[in-house]
Amino acid sequence: MKLANRITNPEIFAENRLQAHSDHKVYASEAEYLKGESSFYHSLNGSWKFAYAPNPNLAIEGFEKMDYCCKNWDDIPVPAHIQMEGYDRPQYSNVEYPWEGVVPIETGQVPVDFNPVASYVKYFKVPDRFAGQRVFLSLQGVEQAVEIWLNGHYVGYGEDSFTPSEYELTDYLKSGENKLALRVYKWSTAAWLEDQDFFRFSGIFRDIYLYTVKDFHLYDLKILAQPDVDLRDGKLSISAELWGKGEISFALRAYTFDTYQMQILEKNPTELPLIWQEKVQVTAGERMEIETDIREVALWSAEQPNLYLLTICLSENGKAIEFIPQLVGFRRFELDGNLMKLNGQRIVFHGVNRHEFGCDRGRVVTTEDMIKDIITMKKNNINAVRTSHYPNRSEFYHLCDLYGLYMIDETNLETHGTWSDVAPQTKDPEKLKNVLPDDKPEWLGAVLDRVNSMYQRDKNHPSILMWSMGNESYGGKNIFEMSEWVRGQDKTRLVHYEGVAHDDRYPATTDVYSQMYTPAEKVRQFIQTHQDKPFILCEYTHAMGNSNGAMHKYIRLSEECPTYQGGFIWDYVDQALRTKNVFGEEYMAYGGDHGERPNDGNFSGNGIVFADRQITPKMQEVKYNYQNFRIFVSATEVTIENKSLFTCSCQYQAVARLYRNGHLLMIKTFDTKVQPLTKESYPLPLSIPAEAGEYTVIVGLELKADTPWAKAGHEVAFGQAVFGEFTEIKEKRQTLARERENDLLMMKDRTNIGVRGTHFSVLFNGIHGGLISYRYGGKELLKDLVLPNFWRAPVDNDYGNCMPQRYGQWKLASQYITHKPFAEDQKIGLISAEQTEGKVEIRYAYGLPTKPWSSCQLLWTILADGTVEVELSYEVVPELHDMPEFGMMFKLYPEYERVKWYGFGPEANYADRQESVKLGIYQNRAGDNMTPYLRPQETGAKLGVRWATVSSQSGAGLCFYGQPFGLSVTPYTPHEIENAKHHFELPRPYQTVVRVFAEQMGVAGDDSWGSKTHPEYLLDVSQPVKKFKFSFCGLE
């Protein structure tokens, strides 16, 4: 089958498609609206007949004709991606186009040999209630190009996967059974405009339905709800495109959502306070304009999403025929000099980028998915979403209006693969010849159509503050024309486009400076010389795997530099598909796991939630950094800084909790009244006892009542302070050791050194070179030799910055550490073994196979109670890179999997990701610390640990304690973790690996393709010798 001109011509992007319009919903009456079901719509979702072809040459020709029976074809559900239903295969690709290296085509051409085609057929009857009325077909989302026939007649064609395409069917319908046929191409010329970083799917993936209209019909609605400059009163402007003639009536009712109560359209509109009403007679074909003043408007914001309900009723001859409900939000968003302001206040975006994605259905998202995402965002202080990188389902905007989230609505445009090899600020036409859309006139119509479709559908949502012209599409005149077009339509929002950072030929394309992944300090430097516009990071703190280190630096920047107004984390949810491996076990699959080539591996795993919507440990840091209150605690007072724009702290309950050595002593509540953007201090409502110990005071602000997104008691912000010192275990063990010091016995022969005391024994083996046995209470607690460790498994960010290559010697040092000399003049092995009063000291020296070679020493001090004091020392070799970790590794039997610690938690924390920790007592199991990032990597570490126990169900095990240290307890060694590309590739747990360390390098997070861990979060090698001391003993 030869490809039609519309598939291969970028200037043809639609045929017979209706003009884009607002996303309002029409009901036959108010009663229908209250039931939530409209008689004007008829869903075509469900089972369709389906035929697949791997390319257009093999697609069935003539299937759309009435004499071609398709009833024996396969069945496929709609909406769905065909790749999720057993046809073609999912393919994840980031920058590169999915056909690169597979099909030899030039920029703008369409693959033929490799271009799956999906043929859909739906046999249906028109509902009786549609009789005698015009009927339309609405495709809410088809990826990527679609041809449509009804009863053998060609209806039309559409592109743009992420905005609706609608067509009139009236002239082609017949009584009885109708045959609707769709041919969906995975790629047309429009595929060059949809090179987003995601799985490449195709098919009908959003709702498809029929709808009908009366002779008098509201086709398009534009609402402007603007407060005046003093933010007291407002003006409501309504513009409506109407078909036919009749009477139209308007009613505006107060439908205010305060911080604690939000009714999701459950109340009968007639019960709501009436603010304004009016009736207008309409003549045929009129675009109606009406305007009215509204007194004392309640303003919409993410903090307080106050809304009004506008109801519009169309009548013919006194009979109501259409009822349209529309939520309205009054808010004023503007540029004030070089600052973005919402309702008069400087706004800071605490945002995320969000792909529409789920692990079981891909981009087929449900209402439940969307609500869950929004609730998770609200619970974790996220206030903004960028719809990366395409318009989302229409319902998502409605929910953001209701719950309160700011939005950057992004045009479905990305051409990253056409310019990835072009240097920034290139002006040479020869080098720009393959860049799309650039200045190429044949692409202008398509990109203008895309921004128009987005704008027309979404224009009435108060949550949208900025229109984005797309993502990573370089620059040029065409994108500038898009920005100018949308400015001509909308004066109440700003225009965003990050590509100007790469191509500044048309700087007026964007109203804000926007960049991606710029380190905080470089943002500061840029702002100092670019003060004419506000600045945002539309993507930052790349959340790939175990990441988001040093995020707090950006938050501090927003407090110190007014024109830096926040950023959007990349990104919200992992893109991974629930799949079965060769053993029939479910796992999360990423690029390449479906056999697709090319692919970009696990680069799709950048979420702060997993693909199944479970929360990652990174979210703890996000929530803290994004909280709207800073709480500072001293021994006598609490200072609360309110960074909210419109919300007083009195709407939350302040709660102070006092802990001693991790155990709760007291809870006190108190009232506060800190107005927005002010700071107040209050007496601490509890006293720190004089008794020795470590005291932690945590002061939080909690919801006073249930909200739609969280229950009463949910903590929105906290601060903490620690007083005193923890010495409890050390003092008890010292007392016990003194009582038993006469029972201590050392036994030394040619090979081994043994130490025995009451209830315990220790064995050092000369052949293996170290501590090989620790028995306590008759149980052997060590599975293997205890040795120093200098390595942690790389995280995704490390792979991007070549950390394994730079630091690889330390992995070898950990794996091949030896007590046997392997070079001249090495003094390694057993150094000394001595018993003095109440203790035995044994010292080993080890050689490390680094270049130049290096060494370390272990001093073991065994006390009479069974306590073993460990001192690790390392003579720093300046020529060597910093090590990833400095500590010890213990291997226990697998039944010792229960972990309890007094330290930082509750989630994993690292040197550059510990702003959000709370000092407390926590517990889990070794396997719980293997966070299911798509690729196994360093995970589960805890810092600030005062003590930790690793035990079996019976209670036997080890206790580690000392000055605050780091702890990792998992079933695997770092080598095993990094050697697996999926979790199912890890061995069945056969041991528990305990790493106790003084320091570990941070996980980084500025980006995942080159940026390194910040210097202050690397190990300190400034001193000639590094030392680490801690103790362990058996559990009683």
DSSP state letters, 89-129 = ---EESSS-TTTTTS---TT---SSS--EEEEEEEEE--GG
Q: Is 539 a catalytic residue?
A: yes
Note whether 106 and 426 are within 8 A (CB).
Answer: no
What confidence score (pLDDT) does residue 262 get? 45
Helix (H, G, I), strand (E, B) or coil at 447: helix
pLDDT band at 285 (very low <50, low <70, confident <90, very high): confident
Q: How confident is the model at residue 264 (pLDDT cuts 50, 70, 90)?
A: very low
Write the pLDDT tens digit of every residue in 74-122: 999 999 999 999 999 999 999 999 999 999 999 999 999 999 999 999 9
Amino acid, res. 475:
G
Respond yes or no on whether the N-terminal peptide bond of residue 197 is cis (omega within 30° of 0). Answer: no
Residue 43 to residue 814: CA distance in whole angstroms: 62
Structure tokens at 328: 């309205």
Q: What is the Cα–Cα distance from 967 to 950, expressed in whole angstroms?
A: 11
Cβ atoms < 10 Å from Cβ of 323: 21
How large is the average pLDDT for residues 28-48? 95
The structure tokens 């980084």 sit at 1004
Using alpha carbons, select from 940, 933, 948, 943 the residue that is nearest to residue 971: 940
How far apart (Å, rounded) are the C-alpha atoms in residues 159 and 187? 10
Beta carbons of 529 and 552 less than 8 angstroms apart: no
In the predicted model, is pLDDT for residue 261 greater than 80?
no
DSSP run (H or E) holding 377: helix 367-379
How far is the C-alpha of 908 from the C-alpha of 932, rounded, in Å? Answer: 13
What's residue 270's pLDDT?
Answer: 65
Q: Which two tokens stand for residue 555?
A: 């938050």
For 1018, the token pair is 């690397």
Tell me the DSSP string of 184-240: EES-SGGGGGB--SEE---EE-S-EEEEEE-SSEEEEEEEEEEE-TTSSSEEEEEEE
Exposure b/e, 982-1014, CB count within 10 A at least 16 = b: bbeebeeeebbbbbbbbbbbbbbbbbbeebbbb
Instruction: Give the model confidence (pLDDT) of 470-518 as tens digits.
Output: 999 999 999 999 999 999 999 999 999 999 999 999 999 999 999 999 9
The pair of structure tokens assigned to 869 is 């004091």
pLDDT given for residue 349 in this prediction:
99
Q: Are 896 and 907 in contact (CB under 8 A)?
A: no
Bridge partners of residue 15, in order along the sequence: 157
For residue 870, pLDDT over 70 is answered with: yes
How deeply is 820 buried, as exposed, middle or buried, from its count of CB atoms within 10 A (0-12, 13-18, 19+)?
A: exposed
- Report the pLDDT value the prediction gives residue 269, as an integer from 0 to 100: 64
In which residue ranges of the chain is CATH 3.20.20.80 found?
Answer: 348-575+602-623
3-class secondary structure, 70: coil
Burial (0-12, 13-18, 19+ Cβ within 10 Å), 667: exposed
- Amino acid in the structure at residue 776: Y
CA distance 624 to 465: 24
Spell out the CATH class of 627-725.
Answer: mainly beta
Over residues 769-812, the pLDDT tens digits come to 999 999 999 999 999 999 999 999 999 999 999 999 999 999 99
Q: Report the C-alpha gap between 280 and 496 in whole angstroms.
A: 38
Cα separation, 239 vs 876, whole angstroms: 74
Residue range 902-914: mean pLDDT, rounded: 98
pLDDT band, very low/low/confident/very high, at 1021 (cuts 50, 70, 90): confident
Query: Secondary structure of 583-627 in the HEC alphabet?
Result: CCCEEEECCCCCCCCCCCHHHHCCCCECCCCCECCHHHHHHHHCC
Q: Report the share of the chain in percent with pLDDT over 70.
A: 98
Distance (Å, whole) CA 962 – CA 876: 23
Strands 217-227, 274-282: pairing is unpaired
Ranges of CATH 2.60.40.10 domains, the chain = 217-333, 627-725
Task: Give the mean model confidence (pLDDT) for residues 406-424.
Answer: 95
- Paired residues of 722 in beta bridges: 696
621 Cβ neighbours under 8 A, 6+ residues apart? 548, 551, 552, 909, 913, 915, 916
Residue 378 has pLDDT above 50, yes or no: yes
Pairing of strands 854-863, 839-848: antiparallel
* 986's tokens: 């890890």
Residue closest to 323 by CA, chosen among 694, 38, 717: 38
Q: Is 560 a known active-site residue? A: no
> Which residue matches tokens 């506000």?
534
632, 719 in Cβ contact below 8 A? yes
Question: Within the chain, which residue ranges are assigned CATH 2.70.98.10?
Answer: 732-1031
- Encoded tokens for 114: 């490799």
Beta carbons of 684 and 633 less than 8 angstroms apart: yes
At 916, the pLDDT band (50, 70, 90 cuts) reads: very high
Dist. CA 790–CA 755, nearest whole Å: 28
Pick the CATH number of 217-333 from 3.30.1370.100, 2.60.40.10, 3.30.420.10, 3.40.1160.10: 2.60.40.10
Quick check: 162 and 139 in contact, CB under 8 A? no
Domain 348-575+602-623 fold is TIM Barrel (3.20.20)
For residues 241-259, give the mean pLDDT.
80
Q: What's at 629, amino acid-wise?
A: F
Amino acid residing at 8: T
φ, ψ of residue 14 to 5 degrees: the values are -165, 145
- The SS3 of residue 303 is coil
Q: Which of 523, 472, 527 is nearest to 497 (CA)?
A: 472
CATH 3.40.50.1390, domain 5-213, yes or no: no
> In terms of Cα–Cα distance, which of 625, 631, 655, 629 is closest to 644?
629
Q: Do 752 and 762 touch, CB atoms closer than 8 A?
A: no
**What digits encode the pLDDT tens for the residues 727-749?**
888 888 888 778 787 789 999 99
| Alpha-carbon span 1008 to 935, nearest angstrom | 14
Cα-flanking dihedrals φ and ψ of residue 484, to 5°?
Answer: -65, -35
Would you place residue 209 in the very low, low, confident or very high pLDDT band (cuts 50, 70, 90)?
very high
SS in 3 state form for 672-741? CCCCCCCEEEEECCCCCCCCCCEEEEEEEEEECCCCCCCCCCCEEEEEEEEEECCCHHHHHHHHHHHHCH
Beta carbons of 792 and 974 less than 8 angstroms apart: yes
Question: Does position 260 have pLDDT exceeding 70, yes or no?
Answer: no
Residues 287, 288, 293, 297, CA torsion sign: negative
Between the CA of residue 970 and those of 506, 939, 942, 963, what are the distances in Å?
A: 53, 9, 12, 22
Number of neighbours of residue 48 by Cβ within 10 angstroms: 24
Q: Once rounded to an integer, what is the mean pLDDT over residues 362-384?
A: 98
What H or E segment, with its residue span, contains residue 402?
helix 394-403
Which H or E run contains 30? Answer: helix 30-35
- Output the pLDDT for position 265: 45
Calculate mean pLDDT across residues 636-652: 98
Catalytic member of 539, 596, 641, 885: 539
Q: Which is the catalytic residue, given 143, 147, 356, 472?
A: 472
How would residue 3 be classed by pLDDT, with cut points 50, 70 and 90?
Answer: confident
CA-based nearest residue to 1027, from 993, 995, 999: 999
The Cα 813–Cα 570 span in angstroms is: 35
Q: How confident is the model at residue 256 (pLDDT cuts 50, 70, 90)?
A: low
Q: Which two tokens stand for residue 464?
A: 């949208």
pLDDT at 527: 98
pLDDT in tens, 576-634: 999 999 999 999 999 999 999 999 999 999 999 999 999 999 999 999 999 999 999 99
Task: Find out whether 466 and 399 touch, Cβ atoms under 8 Å.
Answer: no
CB 880 within 8 A of CB 1019: no
Computed over every residue of the chain, the mean pLDDT equals 95
SS3 270: helix
Measure the CA–CA gap between 510 and 564, rounded to whole angstroms.
15
Contact 710, 378 (CB under 8 A): yes
CATH 2.40.50.140, domain 732-1031, yes or no: no
Rg (CA), the chain: 33
